[in-house]
Amino acid sequence: MAGTLHIRSSLARVGIIASLALVDPGFRGQLTISLYNGGPEQFVMRGGDRFVQIVLHQLDTRTQRSYRGRYQDSKGVVERRA
């Protein structure tokens, strides 16, 4: 499986912009998402608010190499790892 993240259209309509990425096959951990309010109004998010959706893609073949990157098994807010 692989996944793509998408911002909910209701947020995009008020000017919220998201930096989202592909979720690689084999990735384990918490996903990092960056949001920017490009709209004219203040926007408040609360715990439990839905703001992204994930689309899972069944791959036709097994991946030759699962994700083994530096963010595997990440938890919480993880800063850039060089």
> Which 3-state string (H, E, C) describes 12-59?
HCCCEEEECCEECCCCCECCCCEEEECCCCCCCCCCCCCCEEEEEECC
* 58 to 7, 21, 33: CA distances (angstroms): 21, 17, 23
Question: What pLDDT is attached to residue 6?
Answer: 95
pLDDT in tens, 65-82: 999 998 999 998 887 877
Q: Give the pLDDT score at 78.
A: 81
On whether the CB atoms of residues 16 and 50 are closer than 8 A, the answer is: no
Per-residue pLDDT tens digits for 15-56: 999 999 899 999 999 998 999 999 999 999 999 999 999 999
| pLDDT value of position 79 | 79
What was the pLDDT predicted at 21? 85
d(C-alpha 80, C-alpha 68), whole Å:
16
